[in-house]
Amino acid sequence: MVAIMLACASKSIKLLGVTTVAGNQEGHKTFENALRVLTLINRGDIPVARGADKPLLRDLIIAPEIHGSSGLDGAELPLPGVEPWPGHALDLLEKLILESPEKVTLVPTGPLTNIALLFLKNPAIKERIEQIVLMGGAALDSNFTPAAEFNIFVDPEAADVVFSAGLPLTMVGLDVTNKAVMTFSEIEELARLGGPVSSVAAPLLEFFAQANKDVFGIEGAPIHDALAVASVIDPSLLKAGHHHVAIETQGTHTRGRTVVDLYNITGEEPNVAVALEVNTPAFIAMLRRAFITLDEAVQGKG
């Protein structure tokens, strides 16, 4: 939700479309949530298409203990008031990528099923993609098993396809997103803005912050997905090292592990820019400006 809002608020990037995938909740819920978010911020001009409802080869695993039964618990979102794109996410991705006069950047913030399916269906489309900046994985951290981050764990085979695609890829993983925390006091400051968007986002972030405190001991809401968008807007927010990353698909205890060769032990050519440091104050300031921008835009249309 915050990632979509930040992309819409920025003047530095153009959001061409949104595709959804089953991940933290079932596919029909994540799809409806995207429609509700765009309805809230009056951006019915952005096409939204529903994608894969399950991983490539595995049963779906969701995370209601973190995101609630709706996938966006805490937020009082309006009913969808924008029309969804009539086709599948793969078709929308192909259309937007091939029709763009410039190469596009993909910012996946869930399991990588849609992107993997796209590359398997149309390998040549990779020539029209500038880069992939994804939220997922970690060099040193984890959040779903002792070895794995949730998005990669849910569909490791899809991640393997994407990480092996040969495209410029930045992994905005838990090493930085768990540090990109909006504190409880910063969430209270957001609530005090009292605008039509900030007043919806603040309760969501409060719910998410409490879940993270209860489960992980994090004192606030780590804004995972939006950090990937923010790093496209301002790459200086992150410091990354170039390393070889492989995806573990078979391990009994390590399924979904992003195996980052930090010390080049294997001698393999680096294939991923792995984000390792983040300027959290600058990121939180960017988010605050985005919420103010969206508040003003919605109020102006009201």
Q: Would you name the residues annotated as active-site residues?
A: 224
Which amino acid is present at 235?
P
Residue 173: other Cβ atoms inside 10 A: 31
**Cα separation values, 29 from 152, 256, 296, Å:** 20, 24, 28
CA distance linking residue 109 with residue 225, whole number of Å: 5
Inter-residue contact 231 to 287 (CB < 8 Å): no
HSE-CB of 205 using CA atoms within 13 angstroms: 33
List 105's β-bridge partners, or say none. Answer: 131
Of 272, 223, 217, whose CA–CA distance to 244 is shortest?
A: 272
The residues, any chain, with a CB within 8 Å of residue 229's CB and separated by 6 or more, are 3, 6, 7, 10, 13, 107
In terms of residues, how long is the chain? 302
For residues 139 and 171, what is the distance between their CA atoms, to the nearest angstrom? 9
CA 159 to chain centre: 14
Strand 238-247 relative to strand 258-261: parallel, antiparallel, unpaired?
antiparallel
- Coil, strand or helix: which one is 48? strand
Tokens of 143: 């959040």
Structure tokens at 23: 């991940």
Give the tokens for residue 147. 């070895």
Which residues, 6+ apart, have CB-to-CB distance to 169 below 8 Å?
131, 132, 133, 134, 162, 163, 271, 272, 273
